[in-house]
């Protein structure tokens, strides 16, 4: 059962944070993070800034993803890794003060009422 997304714990792991803030061509969404005025935030502050916007947003593209894991070199089913994925729109002012929309992809674990930011672009 899905609860209010604004009350979930929202995290960004270190590798994902590097990806989100990376500006290397073909890697990361650093330009979007910078445009949103969120550059310089650590992963905890960035997660908190995104979480504050969740209460104002609608869920899009809600889907269930079957969990899996690698065992002895093979990918096998792992129901403990099942998750819901969704996208939310958040808004931040750009450097000129104009509100801009960004899409944030979230992997949601309903058992723990916890989400992980997967992507952010706009």
Provide the whole-model pTM. 0.81
Confidence band for 26, pLDDT divided at 50, 70 and 90: low
CA nearest neighbour of 86 among 66, 48, 115, 112: 115
What phi and psi values does residue 38 have, to the nearest 5 degrees? -105, 5
Q: How many residues does the chain have?
A: 122
The three-state secondary structure class of 31 is: helix
Tokens of 96: 């000129």
- pLDDT level of residue 1 (50, 70, 90 thresholds): low
Q: What is the mean pLDDT of residues 88-115?
A: 88
The pLDDT tens digits of the residues spanning 45-97 come to 999 999 988 878 877 888 998 988 999 999 999 988 888 899 999 988 887 88
Question: What DSSP element (H or E) covers 11?
Answer: strand 9-11
What pLDDT is stored for residue 72 in this prediction? 94
């Amino acid at each position: 059962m899905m609860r209010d997304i604004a009350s979930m714990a929202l995290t960004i792991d270190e590798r994902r944070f590097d990806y989100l803030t990376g500006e290397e061509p073909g890697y990361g969404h650093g330009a979007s993070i910078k445009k949103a005025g969120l550059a310089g935030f650590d992963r905890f502050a960035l997660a908190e800034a995104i979480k504050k916007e969740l209460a104002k947003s609608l869920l899009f593209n809600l889907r269930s993803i079957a969990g899996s894991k690698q065992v002895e070199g093979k990918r096998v089913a792992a129901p403990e890794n099942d998750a819901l994925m969704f996208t939310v729109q958040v808004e931040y002012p750009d450097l000129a003060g104009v509100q801009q929309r960004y899409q944030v992809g979230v992997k949601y674990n309903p058992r723990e009422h916890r989400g992980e930011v997967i992507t952010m672009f706009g």
